[in-house]
A and B are shown apart, each in its own frame.
Chain A
């Protein structure tokens, strides 16, 4: 397993522990793709990509050549494992909306206490588009957001109520940052785990929503 040397890798390493043996998981472009490097020993997951493929293995390593016309959700060449398969876009999204994907992992501008996700447009700025994110969060069994705990200006990314245009409504189950794991429940957001390097007080101070603090908060590892 790749050593954890920075926050991105720490977040990916924790997120990968949500996966169960045999899960079909969809990893968004960027940080979520890093989860592939941290799949726990003995856990075999199948990676779904919305462009129509199950069984992606990631970018070719030195000495490997990706098969022709096998790309990931970012359009980059990827290796395909034995038993992997390709299909049309409408079938791809049938599997996605149809509840066949155990977990979808993506990034966020903001997540709020009700599990609302904003990750596709910032009002007043040019929008890149939502790609497959709206379909993914509407159909995957669980939605996991991987994110830094605060933005570049230090503002919390987990807020009480987001006013940004939504990607999905009441869809986020877990928010994983370099500081904490927050589980969005019907009763509200529960602080389930904190990083070994922080305190509950620091996490609460850097979170924009009222967190439910259980008697025993776990340690991210």
Chain B
């Protein structure tokens, strides 16, 4: 029997034991606290405990499970809320009350609940790893497909249960492997959380993850299977942006990881997502969402694990052929958990006390995103959107810098925009996406032929405004020539009318690509017509006097999402107004 030698916070050591392997899950102490082996040497085995260690004593037993820290995968995951090591929080609340107790053992998934299972194989079929043997409706919008574990060698189906209602632990299928042994298949399987689930091959990334957020979809789009980081100081709206994406992006399933963040935020997600109806399915958003909540005051070791638990769940659904978006809020808290544990292990620190392996851990995480052909032959994707909370809003700190190296889409949140309540406070000059070229073909085919050109024109206007603002800051806007004043006015329409988006407005909270495109077109048209009027000798005051800048700013509210035809009449009206202006008449719309 192995016994505890020493305890320091969440780190426990066992002296001179040879019975544990790396990343093995173990139970520590009389309370059987869930723990993981993180270091093995002939002198000591080091174990991190995922629960509070108060009251633990040297000499208490440590029991190995023989398996790596793993997640239970099966129907019942969606709509659930777990902590960082996949303990169901609702069931825990029933067991230990409002405050989370130690050593409470609950099955991650409901073992009583019955699912209506439809078998998709019959005796005599061949079944190889990753292939589906039965399906069951998990929520009204998600059909769960039970797949042969990627660890299995596969074999011939020798028995199937009749279609009907089964719990996750009932055997529904038996296969005989090539060696002749029999494997019993239930509705669930286990997978070690730190190992990526295999897929057949990675496919090129060429479809956008449509979010309905204008600044993201046009200026810095993210692809399905892509990675993005949202860095920003406190109060700049990281969580708000993550919530918006979780609500509206066109993924099939959302995995929301609240990693070291506020308890109230998770409560808010729970409440809001239950009330909000997904326009695509007419069902509450919870029907496609799974939450991992390891709030800042829950044990730090479980916070470190929460990211891996989340991505393992995502990969599992990807293997069924779904598109998953992961919101990780916030990866900085995860990095800090690494630092905290590393400090307890007395490892040599690198930058700012973070361990030297921080970059490799971050890259391992983001590399688990991708658009793949699954073992079962279907296509699925995992997109990762990670929030980063830089210390002191300083983007040069290690977590932001290392994250920047491994993501291809960067949405920089800006304090001054947030102060002005310009939301989403994504700074258009500092943000970028490396996916724009990959996605060009999609936009061309599905939105408009000249979408990329229009997008570039808008970006140019913002860019030129940015350089003009240097002058304006020094000398005021009055000294600028008229054409530059027009540019500044147009840029204002872009910033306030287009980039700024109201998450609380029923139409503006989600805007389809077609409307985004038409809004940009109309703004560009104003710039073009305004320029023509100036060439014709009209003063800038006459151009702004048409009132079109204000109209463009209010476009997002005035034209409902379901009435795109209104854009044509706006466009005609604008032409008339400017024609009148050029020909010397009074503007009609003023």
A, B in one complex: no
Interface residues of A (CB under 8 A from B): none
- Interface set of B (CB-CB < 8 Å, partner A): none
